Amino acid sequence: MRSETGMELPYDVEIEILQRLPVKPLHRLELVSKNWRRLIRSRYFMERYMVHQKSKHRFKILAKIIVVDPLVLKVSPKPRLFLRSSDDDPEFTYVLLENNEVVATCLSCDGFICCPRPGNKYLFINPATGQKIQAEQRSPCHRPQTFESHVTVPFFISRYSIDFLGYRTSNHQFPSPAIDLLGFGRDRVSGDYKLVRLFERPGENTACTECEVLSLKTWEWRYISHVPIPCFKGQPSASVNGSIYWFTVYLWLTDAEYSTTAKIIAFDLHTHRFRAVHHPPFGARTPSYIINLMNLRDQVWMVEQTLDCLEMWSMDGGGGAWEKMYSIDLKSYARPNLEVLMPIEICGDGKVLISGKKPNNSNHWDLKERLLKYDPRTKTLLLADHQTFARVPYFQTWVLAPYFQSLFSFDTL
């Protein structure tokens, strides 16, 4: 690469320029120079490109719109609704996915998207390159015949319902069996993307006690072992720095008998081992039933929503302590009929983007989810999106996940 004066630019300057470009222009540049093609396809550059994308203050948000035509009872293949940030907010833009590709519940990690589909199938997408591939889930009968569970599930666990978490598990939104707990992340050592599935033992209806892993490098399922501490069915996971995190069934138990039992467990994507995580900061009280783990800024966050407040806790990198970072007073804000609030990203200026879900019985002409932004300096919570649409009989929209472009493809992992 030459400068305007005709001099060759230093190699590190070339890399600095190239890593600022979107994925599609980079692929076009591969046709211009063999050296550029070799550089762009190198793992070194792909990793550096990902780090740069995640460090940018501007990011993209995956969004999904379903449009139903009641005359034919079919879902429109393409969205007829358009979204943009309000007042041309420089922090984020939307990326819309087609209706025939994804469902409302998607898992996102380092530029790859995992979408559960009907029939125990999973669709993996790189939106930046347009690459897609589908994998099927094997039958649980692959479990070793000599396997015996060493997990004892308390008798009262089956009384609880994961609906208390406010997580979307209705059939039309999450076609994969609600008994599965899914986690999607990246092995920090090998670079392999992996889908982790926790599920209950056949014939039981209590909690998830078994585990298997799908490697996107080999496209093979591997049975791992029993889950040392059972987990509630249907809850979302948090994928952070090569580990997947879930709440255990003991989260709401404050009895002395269970006070030292782990409330959170983590699964290491490289060693395929579980470990207990330091207790959430609840003390002796019982936490709310609307509570979630999530990845914000490559850290594990726990978000608890009550009738009056939305509290956000961050766990330090070593997993040894929790710190309350945000406490949002919901009583003082005029929320547009939103019942469940889920933070999805923290902007560079400390503002929090929050997805607000409306009740299922709300007006079907209205959008089911809205995007809000909380400003900790002014203590304001305002709508952060502007949505226009063609008038159709019925539609729903979901904000799925933050998203960063990736140069990796499924055949270069």
- Residue with the bigger pLDDT between 219 and 160: it is 219
Q: What is the pLDDT of residues 247-283, one digit of tens each?
A: 998 887 767 677 778 889 999 999 999 999 988 877 6
Each residue's pLDDT tens digit, 98-110: 555 555 568 889 9
Distance CA(374)–CA(304), nearest Å, equals: 16
Kindly give, in sequence order, each residue whose CB lies less than 8 Å from that of residue 248, ignoring residues fewer than 6 positions away: 229, 230, 231, 232, 261, 262, 263, 264, 265
Specify the residue for token string 């589908």: 134
Spatial contact of 166 and 340, defined as CB atoms under 8 Å apart: yes
Side chain identity at 120, as an amino acid letter?
N
User: Which stretch of DSSP H or E encloses residue 46?
Assistant: helix 43-55
Residue 365 CA from chain centroid, whole number: 27
Q: Nearest 5 degrees, angle CA 246-CA 102-CA 390? A: 125
Cross-strand pairs, 311: 304, 327
Most confident segment among 93-102, 323-332, 378-387: 323-332
Q: What is the pLDDT of residue 158?
A: 39
- What is the Cα Rg of the chain in Å? 22
Determine the pLDDT at residue 219.
93
3-state secondary structure of 317: coil
Mean pLDDT, all residues of the chain? 76
Question: Which is more confidently placed, 157 or 326?
Answer: 326
Beta strands (DSSP E) in 259-408 are 264-268, 274-277, 290-296, 299-305, 309-315, 322-329, 340-346, 352-357, 369-375, 380-383, 385-389, 394-403
Q: In the 8-state DSSP scheme, what is residue 368?
A: S
- Is the alpha carbon torsion for 154, 159, 164, 167 positive or negative? positive
> Which class does domain 42-142+158-403 fall in?
mainly beta
CB count in 10 Å sphere of residue 104: 21
pTM of the model: 0.82
Longest distance between any two alpha carbons in the chain, whole Å: 77
The predicted model gives 139-153 an average pLDDT of: 45
For residues 361 and 225, which has the higher predicted lDDT (pLDDT)?
225
pLDDT of residue 130: 84
Residues whose CB falls within 8 Å of the CB of residue 120, separated by 6 or more in sequence, listed in order: 136, 137, 176, 177
pLDDT band at 157 (very low <50, low <70, confident <90, very high): very low
Domain range summary for the chain, segments of one domain joined by +: 1-41, 42-142+158-403
When mean pLDDT is compared across 38-47, 67-76, 185-194, 230-239, the lowest value belongs to 67-76
